[in-house]
Amino acid sequence: MLRPLHFVCLLLLAPLCAGATRPKWATFTVASANLSDNTTQAYDDPGIRILQALQPDVLAIQEFNYRLGTSQDLVRRLFGPDWHFAREKGGARLPNGVVSRYPIVAHGQWEDPYVGNRSLFWATVQIPGPKPLHVVSVHLVQNRAERRIPEARHLLQLIRKQFPEDDYVVLCGDLNVNTRDSEALAELTKWFDDSAQPADQEGNPNTNAKRNRPYDYVLPNPALAPTHAATVLADQKFPGGLVFDSRLWNPLPPPVEWEDTVRDLQHLPVLKTFRVPLAE
């Protein structure tokens, strides 16, 4: 039987023992998704089910519209009432935004002089650990490579000016590039890292509906890139990250349905995983 003094000593030592086993790392996932339907350019059941299955900790979302309600209604339906979100202001027809399991402590937007119906959006997320994560959600101009190149150059200048060099920054979005050899992507990867390239079970990295163009990206900056880790979903492992195509899964991760990817969606989502230290 423990004497009172021994019991008090154990209580005092417990925090020290617990501290010895505290985790040193935090693992989180970041997704980029332009999963609105091709008719209304708003989110509907197929895109919603896919995001519910992926359950990303941080989501950079494009065409942040919901035909059955507000953006808050969409976030609640996707992930529940405790999640955080920020969306660009100003009435853009195809707004960008960020949704997060973790608190969003700041957000803002930059005008995009190369396309008129959306802005370049950013949000600062307080992930576990000493550094925040700055998430940039973008939707670059479509079918105009001659405009997309200066647009990418302009975007990178804004990002480098806005955020501290050593913070974690991730650029996400629908870049609308036809190949990974595009000049616009080359501009962005002068600082951002594309060495870990997400793919599906068959090794296909393309994210448009026809699966022949790499439109969508999750690109870490030099501070975040070394923390990249393999993505695991439903016991399947994807070393470079995941491009999710519902037709390649058996069994399907719930609540996805087999035809969700082809039900009038414009894109497939991209998911990457990062493992960051909890102390400097």
pLDDT of residue 82: 97
Q: pLDDT digits over 21-66, tens only?
A: 788 999 999 999 999 998 899 999 999 999 999 999 999 999 999 9
Q: Which bin fits 194, alpha (ψ -120 to 50), beta or left (φ > 0)?
A: alpha
pLDDT of residue 20: 57
Say whether the peptide bond before residue 130 is cis (omega within 30 degrees of 0): no
List of domains in the chain: 23-277 (3.60.10.10)
pLDDT bin (cut points 50, 70, 90) of residue 280 is confident
Q: Quickly count: other Cβ atoms within 10 Å of residue 106's Cβ.
A: 12
Q: Does the structure show a pLDDT above 90 at 14?
A: no
pLDDT of residue 208: 95
Q: pLDDT digits over 102-133, tens only?
A: 999 999 999 999 999 999 999 999 999 999 99
Q: pLDDT digits over 135-192, tens only?
A: 999 999 997 888 999 999 999 999 999 999 999 999 999 999 999 999 999 999 999 9
pLDDT of residue 144: 80
Q: Does the structure show a pLDDT above 90 at 10?
A: no
The answer to whether the beta carbons of residues 121 and 89 sit under 8 Å apart is no
The answer to whether the beta carbons of residues 31 and 59 sit under 8 Å apart is yes
Q: How far apart are CA 86 and CA 221, in angstroms?
A: 22
pLDDT of residue 143: 78
The secondary structure element, H or E, covering residue 29 is strand 25-33
Q: pLDDT digits over 223-243, tens only?
A: 999 999 999 999 999 999 999
Structure tokens at 236: 């399947």
Q: Does the structure show a pLDDT above 90 at 12?
A: no
pTM of the entire predicted model:
0.92
Measuring CA to CA, how many Å separate 172 from each of 11, 49, 92, 155, 194? Answer: 47, 21, 19, 12, 11
Planar angle of CA 24, 28, 32, nearest 5 degrees: 155
- Of 14-18, 50-54, 275-279, the poorest mean pLDDT is in 14-18
pLDDT of residue 146: 87
Q: Does the structure show a pLDDT above 80 at 261?
A: yes
